[in-house]
Amino acid sequence: MSNLFTSTALALALALPLGAATVRSPRAPQRPVNLNTATVTELMQLPRIGQKTAERILAFRKQHGGFQRTEELMNVKGIGEKSFAKLKPFLALAAVPTPAAAKK
């Protein structure tokens, strides 16, 4: 009986970490996130992007008038080549709406 209990306890102990790992899958947005229109909340849907980094992305966008290329994201503090490579499949880029176009 002791061997049965030990075997069961061992099986559960080994299975739990594996089950927990499958639950912790990386975040991924349902559709690509547009760097020129996304809010902080939308940017935070990207893998490994927290509130601080999302705020830095918005500050960069405001300071530079939007992103011309997705690679410009690497100019934001905290996003290097490795991070960008993981983010790239989830990024979209559309033109920044101009004030003149918004009035029409």
Q: Where are the domains of the chain?
A: 33-95
Q: Write the CATH number of the domain with boundaries 33-95.
A: 1.10.150.320
Predicted model pTM: 0.68
pLDDT digit of tens for each residue in the chain (104 aa)? Answer: 556 555 555 554 555 444 443 333 356 788 999 999 999 999 999 999 999 999 999 999 999 999 999 999 999 999 999 999 999 999 999 876 666 554 55
Using CA atoms, how far residue 104 sits from 9, 96, 98, in Å, is 69, 15, 11
45 and 27 Cβ atoms separated by less than 8 Å: yes
